[in-house]
Amino acid sequence: MKLLIGLLTAATTLAFGLNIQAADKITIMVGGMDKQIYLPAKLAEQLGYLKETGLQIELLSEPSGVNAETEMLSGAAQGAVGFYDHTIDLQARGKYTESVVQFSHAPGEVILVSKAAAGSIKSPADFQGKTLGVTGLGSSTNFLTQYLAAQAGVKESQFTTLAVGAGSTFIAAMTQGKIDAGMTTEPTISRLTSTGEAAILVDLRSVQTTEAALGGTYPAACLYMTNAWVKSHKEEVQKIAGAFVKTLQYIHTHSAAEITEQLPADYYSANKQLYIEALESGKEMFTPDGVMPTDGPATVLKVLTGFNKAVQGKTINLADTFTTEFVKAAK
């Protein structure tokens, strides 16, 4: 009997321990792990900074930011790496999330025009009747494409939006003529422009070009979580924020070649030098400290209000869409 009780006790303890371990695991969904705009996520893992937190953190990849958002809202993940604009769109729908580490202050995206459509698309005003590629419907690439079209006087009903993902699927859609133009990021941009298959129409890779196109600083890639989870897990959020701030500092103090050496080979297997050159020219999109740009949230709200029916007419409390508490403490 004593032996049986002992075995049962041990089994219960083991099961309880496993449950605690499972509950302690923090999953972060990334809207396309190999996209350069989300580089801090994988780099933090590769450098060992996430492990140093003492937390059990798992990074998982989804094709687009909207997919990562869905996984987080369903409870399958505790955080999402995507664009800040989702926090505003979600608040308009009654769901409160906030950026806790702001990775970038520019989208790092461009609209590419295929070689076949180059003669008929000279600006967003020419989107009428065209098929435009985005990573996913409801994604930030979709948001920005709709805004640029609206600003040029083209209604959403006047063009077709097609979800084609990024990387090889985007490239295939463009080279096979399924899309005339589309918004994407590095390394997809360089892979298409280097072969002459596409040309850049709108460039949102730097703060300067973004301000010219969107009228202000547009904070983009970030780690965001539900406000409720952040409030109830401040210790964990602080550790995660510290790891990402350290990663952003690494990006700003190392060359693109040094950073690339830290990444898995399949991130640049198509052309390593091309990847390094793209990263070197695009590094300025990243913030050095994870802090939200002061004028950024207002610009994003203005952009979303320009076309997003869910946001139009709603009162948005921007203070609830981001926090600098954790990144400033990490500094």
The answer to whether the CB of 108 falls within 8 A of the CB of 203 is no
* Main-chain phi, psi angles of 127, to 5 degrees: -70, -20
* CATH number of the CATH domain containing 70: 3.40.190.10
d(CA 264, CA 260): 8
pLDDT at 6: 45
Q: What is the DSSP letter of 286?
A: B
Give the end of a domain, one of 179, 204, 229.
204
The answer to whether the CB of 207 falls within 8 A of the CB of 217 is yes
d(CA 241, CA 244): 5
Give the end of a domain, one of 175, 204, 233.
204
Residue 4, pLDDT above cutoff 70: no
Residues 133 and 191 in one domain: yes
Q: Please tell me the pTM assigned to this model.
A: 0.89
Residues 183 and 119 in one domain: yes
d(CA 309, CA 157): 14
Residue 1, pLDDT above cutoff 50: no
Tokens for 16, please give them: 């309880």
pLDDT at 270: 73
pLDDT at 120: 97
Residues 226 and 310 in one domain: yes
Task: Classify residue 210: in a domain, yes or no.
Answer: no
β-sheet bridge partners, residue 163: 134
**Helix or strand (DSSP H, E) at 253:** helix 234-253
- Block residue for tokens 């995206």: 109
DSSP letter string, 184-242: EETTHHHHHHTTTSEEEEEEESSHHHHHHHHSS----EEEEEEHHHHHH-HHHHHHHHH
Task: Classify residue 257: in a domain, yes or no.
Answer: yes
* Main-chain phi, psi angles of 114, to 5 degrees: -65, 155
Per-residue pLDDT tens over the stretch 243-289:
999 999 999 999 999 999 999 998 887 789 999 999 999 999 999 99
Residues 229 and 318 in one domain: yes
Residues 6 and 23 in one domain: yes
Residues 95 and 226 in one domain: yes
> Which residue type is seen at 66?
V
- The average pLDDT across 295-300 equals 97
Task: Classify residue 49: in a domain, yes or no.
Answer: yes
Residues 185 and 230 in one domain: no
Residues 98 and 242 in one domain: yes
Looking at the chain, the whole-number percentage of residues with pLDDT higher than 90 is 85
pLDDT at 158: 97
Residues 124 and 38 in one domain: no
Least confidently predicted of 68-82, 89-103, 105-119: 68-82
Residue 15, classified by CB atoms within 10 Å of its CB into exposed (0-12), middle (13-18) or buried (19+), is exposed
Residues 283 and 156 in one domain: no
Task: Classify residue 294: in a domain, yes or no.
Answer: yes
d(CA 188, CA 283): 16
What is the number of residues in the chain? 331
Give Cα 32 to chain centroid, integer Å: 8
Task: Classify residue 213: in a domain, yes or no.
Answer: no
| Count: domains in the chain | 2
Residues 132 and 43 in one domain: no
pLDDT at 12: 38
Residue 3, pLDDT above cutoff 70: no
Task: Classify residue 214: in a domain, yes or no.
Answer: no
> Which residue type is seen at 224?
Y
Q: How far is CA 151 from CA 10, 147, 155, in A?
A: 66, 6, 9
Average pLDDT, the chain: 91
Per-residue pLDDT tens over the stretch 176-225:
999 999 999 999 999 999 999 999 999 999 999 999 999 999 999 999 99
Least confidently predicted of 50-54, 87-91, 136-140, 159-163: 136-140
Residues 322 and 196 in one domain: no
d(CA 283, CA 108): 9
pLDDT at 17: 37
Give the end of a domain, one of 138, 171, 204.
204
pLDDT at 263: 96
CB atoms inside a 10 Å sphere around CB 272: 15
Residue 14, pLDDT above cutoff 80: no
- Block residue for tokens 């959403």: 156
Task: Classify residue 212: in a domain, yes or no.
Answer: no
Task: Classify residue 323: in a domain, yes or no.
Answer: yes
Residue 235, pLDDT above cutoff 50: yes
Per-residue pLDDT tens over the stretch 141-161:
999 999 999 999 999 999 999
| Full domain range(s) for residue 174 | 109-204
Residue 303, pLDDT above cutoff 80: yes
